[in-house]
Structure 1
Amino acid sequence: MSDATPTTLPAWLAHQARQRPTGIALRHKRLGVWQVRNWAQVQAEVLALAGALRAAGFGPGAQLAILSRPRPEALFAALAAQWLGGTAAPFDPLEEAAGQATALRQAGADFVFAEGLEEILRVRQSDLAPTWLAYADGRGLVDPQVRAGALDYGRLLAAEAEYGAPPVRAEDIAFAFYRQRVAGVEQQSFSHAELLQEGERLVRGERLSEREDALAARAFAASGQARYLLAPWLLAGFRLNFPERLETRDQDRRELGPSLVLGTRETYGRLHELVRQRLPLPGSLRRRLVDWALEPDGGALRSLLGQPLVRRPLRDVLGFSRTRVALLVGAPLDEETRRFFTGLGIEVRNWPAAERWHPVRGRDVTGWPSGQPQLA
């Protein structure tokens, strides 16, 4: 690979693996312990998956549907598909099953990566017959009919890795997103060039570096995650952290203390409500102290006393003890939530969602609206 500036997500992965092979790329909490992978290990795993996909006939223009909660294997599967010039299509397994089944059928899910038993059952119940189906977590997969034809992630890593330059181009579609609406299934897609442009804008604007720690606590089935978390991770080379599971995300955030937080209006609203449930009753002396300390325009005395007595403990409760950059994608915060975080000394900055949904007609698997040119 040349020393020219990388122009695709897989090329940036290769760049980071070459520049800092032993640097920590990501961590994933499992059974209460943070498991670590460096950049060289991430690239090796992605290449192994790419080899398995290529052997199954996946290539430029193909699409990999990913039905998983946030976990490293899902991210590696997306990068493997992109390494081969294909598209990753993430689906959130927490969405309503019937509508998602329609979206999966419209997407033409011939290649599917599923998290585990529940997600494989969704695929089976959607009347899909993918030519390639792999899973990350085999717990509970005892029914031969459910497991039939499904490939274990661990065995995929035995595939021979190819270390050549990825054939993907900057204009190729990196991610396609689908959603079910009353009028039918809609889609939006983003090229490597678009994602890297948005990611670079964020890296420069927020002065992100390899020293950041970010928590991937939401499913990647949203364009904001691709633009403002995955692309900056590859560009800046910081550490990406995955919680053990959705139910432990708040505990894992408190333990980790990420410097970079990315969320939606619902994310910050939920955290605000979490703190409100723990506050003293309104009208009590302790509550008046909290309200006094959280007043955004408090002056020197509030700043001096409020930090150790109120703001620092509350930031610890939220897992924002080290947070330097708090990002919001989509709808803005309500005024009460905004004032709460401002009172904690956390400026939540809104980044545009840039949504551009269009109806899916037939099996529009390339990411282009009907009538536009298809990928080679």
Structure 2
Amino acid sequence: MSVHELKRPLALEWPAELLGNLPKALEQLHHWAQITPLHTALRHKRQGQWYAWRWIDTLRDVERLADGLRQQGFNEQSRLALSGAFEPNLLLLALAAQSIGGQVLTLADNLEPEVLYQQLWRIRPTHSYAQGRQQVRHWQSANPVDFAQLLGPVDPAQHLHRWWQPSAETALWSEEGTHWQGGLAVVLEQWLNSGHGLAFPESSGSARRDRSEVAPTGLLLSPERLQHLADDIESRLAPHGTWRRRLCDWAIAHPQSGLRQLLKSRVRRLLGFQRLSYIWQPLKSTAESVWLAELKRDIA
């Protein structure tokens, strides 16, 4: 593949997309690493244990990864394709590739193998990163990178194995992946603009339990995932037509009801939203459930 071919603009269509240039991303990362170096930047649950990265750790890891990518031939003409759940490794690689000046692309992480092969043939990445053994097997033709090898030797003390949640500490929450169109840009921008910590669950299946442990102050979720939360709330309410459900509906319809506040408090705690103060949403949002509307009304 020639340099000339790589420079040609890509005609991308979903489920592939280009992470646009985030001009202030690295500047913001340096900013938080300088003024709040020991504050928690990222959290991720792995094998049942929470791990945390401070802002200074995050900056150093991005710099190490950039060096590792350069050693593997990544440059301004290169393309890094990412696919999988949003978590620290994926975000750090995206920032490292952008710091070099290369292109970062994402592919939805729920593609069938045949569709995946077609997309890889179209975008022709020079390097790639996908999660899970099954996924990696399908990405062998796309020069997959080994995260640990890129990062190199790391002092274990840089990653905090203890977990605690100070009541005043802010924590953004994401339980998404590259199946969220435009989602990676949203997560990076909201995280780096705010300087708040950003937390991820161990898996989509453990998201509710892990979310309850974090008790996030902000949500970075797609409209589809917010609807999933609404469905989760609905599934835990009494069936329609029963007296218990009529009581719930009556309570929500009467703002001054003490029962209404009790129900809302119970729902918030059940979903890990007792500290919630911010929900990201696109400018154009679709109709939402009564319970999500109540959550947003509470934090408005």
Normalising by structure 2, what TM-score? Answer: 0.80
Which residue pairs with 1:145 in the alignment? none
Q: Do structure 1's residue 229 and structure 2's residue 179 form an aligned pair?
A: no
Match of 1:315 among 256, 264, 268: 268
Which residue pairs with 1:338 in the alignment? 289
* Residues 75 and 241 of structure 1, relative CA distance in 2, 3 Å threshold: same
Which residue pairs with 2:150 in the alignment? 156
Match of 1:94 among 84, 103, 110: 110
Alpha-carbon distance in structure 2 between the residues aligned to 1:348 and 1:306? 16
Q: Do structure 1's residue 107 and structure 2's residue 123 form an aligned pair?
A: yes
* Residues 94 and 331 of structure 1, relative CA distance in 2, 3 Å threshold: farther
AA aligned to 2:217 is: S
CA apart distance, 1:292: 1.3
Match of 1:20 among 18, 22, 36: 36
Alpha-carbon distance in structure 2 between the residues aligned to 1:268 and 1:78? 25
1:240 alignment partner, SS class = strand
| Contact 2:109 2:178 survives alignment (8 Å) | no
* Residues 51 and 254 of structure 1, relative CA distance in 2, 3 Å threshold: same
2:128 alignment partner, SS class = strand
> What's the Cα RMSD here?
2.5
Please show how residues 1-376 of structure 1 align to structure 2 within 5 Å: 7-124=23-140, 128-130=141-143, 133-134=144-145, 151=146, 153-158=147-152, 211-220=169-178, 222=180, 224-295=182-253, 298-300=254-256, 302=257, 304-308=258-262, 310-329=263-282, 332-334=285-287, 337-344=288-295, 346=297
| Structure 2: unaligned runs, 5 residues or longer | 1-21, 155-167
1:289 alignment partner, SS class = helix
Alpha-carbon distance in structure 1 between the residues aligned to 2:69 and 2:119? 22
CA apart distance, 1:62: 1.8
Alpha-carbon distance in structure 1 between the residues aligned to 2:230 and 2:180? 22
| Contact 1:50 1:81 survives alignment (8 Å) | yes
Identity across the alignment (%): 27
AA aligned to 1:299 is: P
CA apart distance, 1:347: 6.8
Alpha-carbon distance in structure 2 between the residues aligned to 1:19 and 1:344? 33
Provide, for residues 181-222 of structure 1, a one-character-per-residue CA deviation record: whole Å limited to 9, x for no partner: xxxxxxxxxxxxxxxxxxxxxxxxxxxxx9531112101454
Which residue pairs with 1:164 in the alignment? none
Counting strand residues as a fraction of each chain, which structure ranks higher?
Answer: 1
| Structure 1: unaligned runs, 5 residues or longer | 1-5, 135-150, 161-209, 350-376
The total of aligned residue pairs comes to: 266
CA apart distance, 1:118: 1.4
| Contact 1:328 1:348 survives alignment (8 Å) | no
AA aligned to 1:65 is: A
Alpha-carbon distance in structure 2 between the residues aligned to 1:63 and 1:330? 30
| Contact 2:230 2:289 survives alignment (8 Å) | no
Alpha-carbon distance in structure 1 between the residues aligned to 2:153 and 2:24? 24
Alpha-carbon distance in structure 2 between the residues aligned to 1:75 and 1:345? 28
Counting helix residues as a fraction of each chain, which structure ranks higher?
Answer: 2
Normalising by structure 1, what TM-score? Answer: 0.65
Alpha-carbon distance in structure 2 between the residues aligned to 1:118 and 1:339? 39
| Contact 2:68 2:149 survives alignment (8 Å) | no
Alpha-carbon distance in structure 1 between the residues aligned to 2:63 and 2:197? 20
* Residues 119 and 299 of structure 1, relative CA distance in 2, 3 Å threshold: closer
* Residues 109 and 159 of structure 1, relative CA distance in 2, 3 Å threshold: farther
Alpha-carbon distance in structure 1 between the residues aligned to 2:179 and 2:206? 20
Alpha-carbon distance in structure 1 between the residues aligned to 2:186 and 2:222? 12
CA apart distance, 1:119: 1.7
AA aligned to 2:278 is: V
AA aligned to 2:60 is: A
CA apart distance, 1:156: 2.3
CA apart distance, 1:159: 7.0
AA aligned to 2:251 is: A
